[in-house]
Amino acid sequence: MDVQLFDTTLRDGTQSEGLSLSVEDKLKIARLLDGFGIHFIEGGYPGSNPKDIEFFRRARQLGLKHAKLTAFGSTRRAGAKAEDDTNMRALIEAETPVVCIFGKSWLLHVVKVLGTTADENLAMIADSVRFLKSAGREVVYDAEHFFDGYRADPAYALSTLRAAADAGADWITLCDTNGGSLPSQISEIVAVVRNTVPTPLGIHTHNDGDLAVANTLAAVEAGCTQVQGTMNGWGERCGNANLISIVPALQLKMGRRCVPDDRLARLTELSRTISEIANIRPRAHAPYVGASAFAHKGGAHVAAIEKVTSSYEHIPPERVGNQRKIVVSELSGRGNVRWRAGELGLDTVGSERAVVAQIKDLEAAGYQFEAAEGSFELLVRRGKPGYAPPFEVLDVVVISERRRGNSMFAEATVKLKVHNEIVHTVAEGTGPVHALDGAFHKALNGFFPLLRDVRLVDYKVRILDPEAATGAKTRVLIEAARGEERWSTIGVSPNIIEASAEALADALELPLARASSSGAQSEAVAAGK
């Protein structure tokens, strides 16, 4: 049986701390969700704020091809008529084909929060659903706090669902609003509801117990045919059920069709694009779509997937638009080196064992090659017969000083050997690394014109043994770029200047090594070779 996807990123997801979407952001995301194959897009609460009112006004021009735009709100107020309720009217004025309203299932909320009676709450639910149906809307009724309410008073919780069903609700969604239920509890209660209410059921879970995805899948197994959730699991507190994990689990593991297969292959792109729009860094270890979701580090694991990829992968990464990643570290075997080098277009035949040994020794000293793939690439290139370094660092001197009360500045002096020629240059900078970078470029740019386009774009320092206080060993990571190409290099030393100089020198050597191996000698080396 197919499962309908109800996305509430634009409403519930925006309640995530630190997440704010403009109207333009919400429109862009709505288009992406529609293109992916989402069935319902909950756009917001048209009665709550000007931004959502503007969104619904502009969303009429979206021309959605697949999804039904949905407005969200609550049941009518206690003691009022639905047709006189301002928020109910706002839901109609949003002009969406679907309206989702929530009502109370838990007597604690009915009495203590709403301050009304059990009977009036049932009337509020029925009147609101009936009013929306009379206006020609498809109605999704969200039974808020249903599982808590059921555990407290099963008969009353079920009576709230019957009130919505008898009034004509098209869907009834069971909500684990506090996110505290277990999968076994969800399954048991959904099965009871399935035998009590004829209306199609949906499930809406929160992640406070880190079980939102598991609870959603359990609900589907028990009979729910609509799942509500958000992109990347965003939402209030610990978040909502993560549709990015739910969709492939339903489709690839449970045989429940959600979207066309070719759309599923765009899952990783969808997750990362929406993260970019929301200005939230994608989670590297996110299941299915994270950059590390199919990363292999252990030597035994890599040796196995070289033979059979499914030996350490629960699905082929391509099914969700992701890719396999081989990490090189002290845990690596020859397979890691061979695989990663192959991805870089390098041949390690005959040198794999030596490279692995060198990596293990260097990582024991504080290096980390999975974070510095540029340095790994250089290590492999340097191990190839006949490799000749384009330059040699002979001396480095860096001075930082403040003169006559002026701001402190730095001066770096480097002495290099290039083509049997000694080059001695000095450069000033706002800090020691800036000065070093300037001195290296001043010495090398005349010999290697391509380095004029190489720039430092990131610089990170980590203390490796903080118990040594100011004498601690430091790890410096530098990210360099040339056009769209980027690479990271590493240096380690108790002296932060020495570590920085090592990482900088590697950052400049790598593009020269690449150019030389590709035969681009005319670009790599100017006059004077």
- Judge if 376 and 498 occupy the same domain: no
The amino acid occupying position 128 is S
At residue 338, the pLDDT reads 62
How far are the Cα atoms of 93, 252, 269 from residue 289, in angstroms, in the given order?
38, 14, 8
Question: Using one digit for the tens of pLDDT, what is the confidence trace for 50-76?
Answer: 899 999 999 999 999 999 999 999 999
What is the total count of domains within the chain?
Answer: 3
Is the predicted pLDDT of residue 289 greater than 60, yes or no?
yes
- Judge if 399 and 367 occupy the same domain: no
What mean pLDDT is predicted for residues 196-207? 98
In a domain, 334, yes or no: yes
Is the predicted pLDDT of residue 469 greater than 80, yes or no?
no
- Judge if 369 and 406 occupy the same domain: no
Where does a domain end: 212, 244, 259? 259
At residue 296, the pLDDT reads 73
- Judge if 66 and 161 occupy the same domain: yes
What CATH number does the domain containing 104 carry? 3.20.20.70
At residue 299, the pLDDT reads 65
Where does a domain end: 353, 382, 411? 382
In a domain, 454, yes or no: yes
Question: Using one digit for the tens of pLDDT, what is the confidence trace for 387-404?
Answer: 889 999 999 999 988 777
What percentage of the chain reaches a pLDDT higher than 90? Answer: 70
What mean pLDDT is predicted for residues 273-283? 91
Pairing assessment for the beta strands 40-44 and 68-74 based on DSSP bridges: parallel
In a domain, 284, yes or no: no
In a domain, 273, yes or no: no
- Judge if 125 and 36 occupy the same domain: yes
- Judge if 166 and 67 occupy the same domain: yes
At residue 471, the pLDDT reads 76
- Judge if 417 and 377 occupy the same domain: no
- Judge if 342 and 400 occupy the same domain: no
Q: Give the structural domain span for 322.
A: 295-382
Q: For residues 50 and 39, what is the distance between their CA atoms, to the nearest angstrom?
A: 26
Is the predicted pLDDT of residue 333 greater than 60, yes or no?
no
Contact 49, 11 (CB under 8 A): no
Where does a domain end: 382, 402, 427? 382
At residue 234, the pLDDT reads 98
State the average pLDDT for the chain. 89
What mean pLDDT is predicted for residues 169-183? 98
Is the predicted pLDDT of residue 521 greater than 50, yes or no?
no
- Judge if 373 and 400 occupy the same domain: no
Q: For residues 276 and 270, what is the distance between their CA atoms, to the nearest angstrom?
A: 10
What CATH number does the domain containing 399 carry? 3.30.160.270
Query: Residue 47's pLDDT band (boundaries 50, 70, 90)?
Result: confident
Query: Residue 335's pLDDT band (boundaries 50, 70, 90)?
Result: low
In a domain, 283, yes or no: no
In a domain, 265, yes or no: no
Give the single-character DSSP code of 272: H
In a domain, 237, yes or no: yes
Torsion of CA 285, 287, 291, 295, to 10 degrees: 90
- Judge if 239 and 125 occupy the same domain: yes
Residue 183 or 464, more confident:
183
Question: Using one digit for the tens of pLDDT, what is the confidence trace for 102-141?
Answer: 999 999 999 999 999 999 999 999 999 999 999 999 999 9
Annotate 98-126 with three-state secondary structure: EEEEEEECCHHHHHHHCCCCHHHHHHHHH
At residue 214, the pLDDT reads 98
In a domain, 490, yes or no: yes
Query: Residue 529's pLDDT band (boundaries 50, 70, 90)?
Result: very low
Question: Using one digit for the tens of pLDDT, what is the confidence trace for 74-107?
Answer: 999 999 999 999 999 999 999 999 999 999 999 9
Is the predicted pLDDT of residue 257 greater than 80, yes or no?
yes
Pairing assessment for the beta strands 409-418 and 392-401 based on DSSP bridges: antiparallel
Q: Is 215 helix (H, G, I), strand (E, B) or coil?
A: helix
